[in-house]
Structure 1
């Protein structure tokens, strides 16, 4: 009888050892999957930030530095808007909100140039204060883009007010 009792002890030990091994493997698989998901999310955030960085720089160059496009308002904002809509990895983050604020400010400038007193750049400014307001607005957009590019380059750094709402911009004349 003692032989049979020791046999049951061995069986229970084997079952317990197998169960412990299964739990260990399961924890290892779950941990590995968690680490893979974190790395994929981090890579998606970096890729999205790089895309937004390029679009912000492109919009800045067109709205401020391109003589023909900046003067006529004939630059496209849809690539930046498209990148914003596809920035799921940054959704709800302060830097995504800052880029959206930048988009709105550049859209306001472009809309004013297209439909304002110097529509499509085909007429010179009648008022020097209007011209100075546009120059100051473009300078503010240029500075804001620099702050956004810096923020998108290093997402771990805290976001400054200059990057969030941009520098003070003059009111565009009506």
Structure 2
């Protein structure tokens, strides 16, 4: 979904609606005070609820997060790159690899953030891409799919390590240090 660009003006729109509801509440309140001794659609309750709605819209409009023009452009570029990564065809990838043999490892962080890394690595399977410069393997054989599997496994292990809870065993670790300080020096004479 591409950003429609309404975010910058949406806050102003909500505030305008809030003012309209507040003015409407004032009118409904004044009309409801008119005593014609007949059942009336306009009541104090209607005026009160319209006023609450108007105040709510004013608050939402004031504090609603708005994207800047720069933020919208960055979002649209990233959304376009994600769409490209999902729909690119083999001949275009071959051309990109020819222009930059390390295109796979340069684009992989984006694929991971977009949560399409497995599909992205499958597209490079038949292209015989070189491994990243920092990657070393015992087998010496590199495939993008195998690399992605190993990399995903490693990142999951790291995530599990950082989120694991400490054991509830009866022992506790700790250490102590007892040590000296600064020694005094000899005094001199005048």
The verdict on a shared fold, with TM-score over 0.5 as the criterion, is no
The structure whose RCO (Cα within 8 Å, separation 6+) is larger is: 1
State the TM-score, normalizing by the size of structure 1. Answer: 0.26
Q: Max radius of gyration: which structure?
A: 2
More helix per residue: 1 or 2?
A: 1
